[in-house]
Structure 1
Amino acid sequence: MKKISLILLFILLATNVFAIGITPGKTDVDYNPGTSREIEFIVINTDAQDSDFAVLIQGDLNESISVSEVSFKMLAGESEKKLKYKIDIPNSLSPGLHKGEIVVVQLPKKSGTGGAFIGAAVAVATQVHVFVLYPGKYAEASLDVLGPDADGSVTFVIPVTSRGDLDLVRVRADIDIYSSLNEKIDSVTTNQIEIKSGERKEVAVVWKGDVPPGPYRAVATLVYDEQTLKLEREFDLGQQVLDVSSIVVNDFSLGGIAKFEILVENKWNRELSGTYAEMQIYNNKGEVMADFKSPTYDISALSKSVMVAFWDSEGVKAGVYDATLFLRYGSKSDQRELQLDVSNNRINVIGIGYVISEGSSSSLFSNPIVVVLAVGIVLLIIVNALWFIFLRKKLKGRSK
C-alpha cells in the first residue's frame, strides 16, 4: 500500500513530462445490455529506454472492464505496444453518461539499494463512454465563445446533443450579454434547428457589440420544445489570449499513428496553466469518428509551445474530413474549424478560410487572382500586337 501511494504521489508531481502517449483517447460504446465488446488501444513509447508499465482500471464501469495485460515491459527500440480491453455492458444502468478509464502508468525505476523509486511516474489514459438515453426529450449542451475577430465580433456556438429517446423538434438559444458590473448590455438569438435522438448539432450567432475592451459574461437559455437549459461563459474582448500558429503532422502513414504537433502562442502577459488541445474528427454524416486530446501544458507569458496529440488512423480511408480543434485553458476555450486532407502518406491540416499547415507545393497559377491578372496581360499583349499590325499596314498604304 505504501508503494502504491508513493507511485501516485510521483504521478501527481510529474507535470510536463510526457514520455508516453496513448490512442484512442476515448471510445464511445452503444448501450446494448448484456453484450460485450473488445477494444484495442495503443501505448506509444517516445522514451528511448527500457520501461516497465502497470495498467489500472477506474471509473464507475471499472467492474465491467478487463484488460489483456495488467503489466508489461517495453524495450528502448519498441515504439508502440498494442493492448486490448473487454467491456461487458451491464444489464441495468441509469440514464446518463457512464465512464471507464484504462490508465497506463510508466513506473519509475528502482534504485540499486533499498528498492526505492527514482524519478517520476507518468500516466496516460484511454476512456470508454457508455451513454444511456433519458426517457422523453433531453438536451446536453455547452457554450463556446469564439473570437474576438479582427472587427471585434464574437461568435457564440452551442453544440447540442439530443440525449433523450425522442427527437428535439425546435432548438434555439437566447443569449444575454453582461458587463463586469453585471449590467445587461445586449441580447441575441441563434438560428433554430431540429435534432434527432442521438444526434449532435450546433446553433450559433455572431455578435458585434460596440463596447469597450474588458471581461464580459454570456448567459444562454437553450430552448428545446417546451424545456430550457441555462448555460454561462465568461469571455474577454480586446485580446486573443491563445492563438494557433501551425499544425504539423510528420512521418505519417495511413492506418498508423498520426502525431499532431500543434504550435500555440500565449499572447497574454500571464502564464496559462493546465492548457490542452482537443480535436474532434467527423465522418461524412457529421458524426464524431475520433476524439483525442493532448496532455496538459503550462505555457509561459508571451511565449510559444508545442502541444502533441496522437490519432490512430486504423480503418480510416483517404479523403477530406471536417474537424474541430479546441484549445482549453481555465474556464475558457477557443475553437477552430478545420479540414484534414488525409492521403496515404500525409495529412494536410486546412483551416476554414486559411491554411494552417502547408500542403503540397502548388503552382503560382493555382491562385485565381493571379490567373485573372495573367489572362488580362495576355489579352493586352494580343490587342497591342493587332493594333501595331493595323498601324503598320496603314502607314505602308500612305507611302504608296
Structure 2
Amino acid sequence: MSRTTLNRNCMLVLAAFVMLFALAGQSLALGVAPTQKVIDFEPGQTKEVKIQIINDQQKDFKAIVYARGEMANYTNIRDSLVTVKANEKMKEFRFNVSMPSSIDKPGDHEVEIVVLEFGDDVEEKAIVTARVAVVSKLIVRVPYPGKYADAKLFINSANVNETVTFKVPIYNFGDEAIEEAWAEIQILGATYEVIGKVETNRIRLEPKSENSVKAGWLADVNAGVYHAVAIVHYDDKTVRVEENFEVGNLLVEVENVIVDEFRLGEIAKFDIIVKNTWNELLKDVYGDVKVVDEKGSIYTNYKTASIDIPAYSKGVLEAYWDTKEAQIGKYDLDITLHYKGKTSRKVIETHVNIDSITTKRMPTAEVVGAKSGAGPEFIKQNSVLIISVIILIIINIGWFIYFKKSKK
C-alpha cells in the first residue's frame, strides 16, 4: 500500500470519528412517549397501541420503526417508514398487538418498539446512515392463577422528631380478588436492630388492580441512615419489600479548637475537634482552614490531612499557621469541613496574644451543600463533550505524526 493511499485511509478514519461524535450531540433531537406502557393479556384479542415520536429540534427527518423482543412476532407494524416534518413537534404512530390464545408463563412479556432515525435520502440510497434510535417498551401482563401480589415501598424522609411517611403500593397480579391487604413495617437501626414498628391501613384488591396503604412513624432518633422492611400481608400470603431512608441531615461540626504552647512569631498548631453526628462511619474527612484579619487579609490557607470518624464520635484535625507576620489582635478562624460530598463551615473569633491563642465559641455549623465539580453526575451529563475532546486530541496527534513523516 502506497503512502498516499495509507494517508488517505487515515484521513477517512479520522473524519469518520469526527462525524460519529458530531452526530452524538444530536441524541436529544428524537424522543418517544410513553417510554413504557403496560397492557393486560386478553387471549385472542388484538389491541391497537399508540406512541408519539417527539421531534425536539423540529427538523425534517425520516425514521424506520420496527419491533424486537419476546412479543415481536405478535406485533404488526403497518408502515415501518415514518416521515416527520419540521413543523411537527410530535408525530403519532400506531401499531397492533395480536394476542395468542394462551401464554403459558404468567407475568410480564415484553416487546420493544424501536424508532431509528435516518437521513432524508433513505429512499434514494441503497446504503444509509443511522443517526439516533429511541425505544418504547410495551409490557403484556399475563395474570397469575389465584392470588398473587407484588409491592413497592416509597419513603418520605423527615428531620429528627418529625414523622416519616411510608407508602406501599400493592399490585394484584392474580386472577382472584384479595380480600384484605396491609403491611407491617419494621424500622431498623445502623446495626439492623429493630427500633420501631408500625402498621398500615387495610384494603381490598380486585384482580389485576392496584392500591396503596400508608403509615407514619415519629423519628425520635438521632440523625442517620435507617432501614425499613415492609411485610405485606394479603389474605394468607406475604411479600417483603425494603428500602433505606434518612433522618435529619448529614453533618460534621466543629466542636472546639485548641492551641497549646504558643508564642507569637512561631508556628501555631490548631487541634480542631470535630464531631460526626451521623450514624455511620465517615471516611476521608478533612478541613480547609483560613486565618483572616479584620481587614480581610488572609494569613494562611491550610488543608488538613484526612481522617475517618466513627458514628457519633469525635476526631481531631490538625492545622498549622506560621505567625511570623502576625500581630497581636483579633482574627477569624474560617474552617470548612469536607465529608461524603458535602461541606459545612464555621467561623470562629480568635484572639492572638504574645503567648496564647484563644477562641470564642460560635453557633453550630450548618451544611453548606454538596461539592460542585467533576462528580459522577457532572461526568454523566458531559460525557459526550469529554469523549469528543479526547477524540480531538487523538486527531491532533495523528495530524502531527502525519506532517512529521511527510517532511522526511
TM-score range normalised by the length of the shorter chain? 0.5 to 0.7
Spell out the pairing of 1:263-274 with structure 2 (5 A cutoff): 268-269=370-371, 273=377
Query: Which amino acid letter does the alignment assign opposite residue 235 of structure 1?
Result: F
Q: Where does residue 79 of structure 1 map in the other structure?
A: 89
Preserved CA contact (<8 Å) 1:55 1:105: yes
Query: Which amino acid letter does the alignment assign opposite residue 106 of structure 1?
Result: E
Q: Where does residue 22 of structure 1 map in the other structure?
A: 32
Preserved CA contact (<8 Å) 1:16 1:298: no
Query: Which amino acid letter does the alignment assign opposite residue 235 of structure 2?
Result: D
The change in CA–CA distance for 1:55 and 1:273 in structure 2 (over 3 A counts) is farther
Structure 1 residue 144: Cα displacement: 0.8
Matches of 1:87 and 1:220, distance apart in 2: 37
Aligned residues: 238
Q: 1:237 aligns with which of 228, 244, 247?
A: 247
Structure 1 residue 273: Cα displacement: 4.8
Spell out the pairing of 1:270-281 with structure 2 (5 A cutoff): 273=377
Q: 2:169 aligns with which of 159, 171, 196?
A: 159
Q: Where does residue 178 of structure 2 map in the other structure?
A: 168
Match of 1:181, SS state, is coil
Matches of 1:156 and 1:16, distance apart in 2: 41
Structure 1 residue 132: Cα displacement: 1.6
Preserved CA contact (<8 Å) 2:165 2:217: yes
Unaligned runs of at least 5 residues, structure 1: 1-5, 241-266, 275-296, 300-400
The change in CA–CA distance for 1:213 and 1:122 in structure 2 (over 3 A counts) is farther
The change in CA–CA distance for 1:138 and 1:16 in structure 2 (over 3 A counts) is farther
Deviation string, structure 1 residues 145-203 (Cα, Å, up to 9, x no partner): 12326963211111011111111112111111122322222111111221121221111
Matches of 2:230 and 2:371, distance apart in 1: 30
Query: Which amino acid letter does the alignment assign opposite residue 57 of structure 2?
Result: D
Q: Where does residue 209 of structure 1 map in the other structure?
A: 219
Match of 1:42, SS state, is strand
Q: Where does residue 101 of structure 1 map in the other structure?
A: 112
Q: 2:154 aligns with which of 144, 155, 168?
A: 144
Deviation string, structure 1 residues 283-333 (Cα, Å, up to 9, x no partner): xxxxxxxxxxxxxx859xxxxxxxxxxxxxxxxxxxxxxxxxxxxxxxxxx
Matches of 2:249 and 2:26, distance apart in 1: 27
Deviation string, structure 1 residues 34-81 (Cα, Å, up to 9, x no partner): 121222322121213332322231232111112133233323333232
Preserved CA contact (<8 Å) 1:173 1:203: yes
The change in CA–CA distance for 1:91 and 1:149 in structure 2 (over 3 A counts) is farther
Q: Where does residue 223 of structure 1 map in the other structure?
A: 233
Query: Which amino acid letter does the alignment assign opposite residue 24 of structure 1?
Result: P
142-151 or 208-217, which moves further after superposition?
142-151
Q: Where does residue 129 of structure 1 map in the other structure?
A: 139
Unaligned runs of at least 5 residues, structure 2: 1-15, 122-126, 251-368, 383-408
Matches of 2:248 and 2:118, distance apart in 1: 46
Matches of 1:151 and 1:16, distance apart in 2: 49
Match of 2:73, SS state, is helix
| Structure 2 residue 59 is the aligned partner of structure 1 residue 61 | no
The change in CA–CA distance for 1:153 and 1:143 in structure 2 (over 3 A counts) is same
Query: Which amino acid letter does the alignment assign opposite residue 108 of structure 2?
Result: L
The change in CA–CA distance for 1:223 and 1:102 in structure 2 (over 3 A counts) is same
Q: Where does residue 376 of structure 1 map in the other structure?
A: none
Query: Which amino acid letter does the alignment assign opposite residue 105 of structure 1?
Result: L
Structure 1 residue 138: Cα displacement: 0.8
Matches of 2:25 and 2:203, distance apart in 1: 43
Q: 1:52 aligns with which of 55, 62, 85?
A: 62
Match of 1:182, SS state, is coil
Q: 1:186 aligns with which of 180, 191, 196?
A: 196
Structure 1 residue 269: Cα displacement: 4.4
**Pair member with larger Rg:** 2
Preserved CA contact (<8 Å) 1:69 1:83: no
| Structure 2 residue 76 is the aligned partner of structure 1 residue 36 | no
Match of 2:240, SS state, is strand
Deviation string, structure 1 residues 7-44 (Cα, Å, up to 9, x no partner): xxx79x95994222323344433322112122232212
Superposition RMSD in Å? 3.5
Q: Where does residue 309 of structure 1 map in the other structure?
A: none
Matches of 2:66 and 2:377, distance apart in 1: 27
TM-score, normalized by length of structure 1? 0.52
Matches of 1:106 and 1:16, distance apart in 2: 11
Deviation string, structure 1 residues 68-120 (Cα, Å, up to 9, x no partner): 3323332333323222111010112121122222121234799xxxx795xx9
Deviation string, structure 1 residues 230-269 (Cα, Å, up to 9, x no partner): 11111222249xxxxxxxxxxxxxxxxxxxxxxxxxx754
Structure 1 residue 227: Cα displacement: 0.7
Matches of 1:86 and 1:43, distance apart in 2: 17
Matches of 2:211 and 2:25, distance apart in 1: 35
Query: Which amino acid letter does the alignment assign opposite residue 52 of structure 2?
Result: I
Matches of 2:226 and 2:52, distance apart in 1: 42
TM-score, normalized by length of structure 2? 0.51
The change in CA–CA distance for 1:268 and 1:96 in structure 2 (over 3 A counts) is farther
Preserved CA contact (<8 Å) 2:226 2:244: yes
Matches of 2:95 and 2:32, distance apart in 1: 14
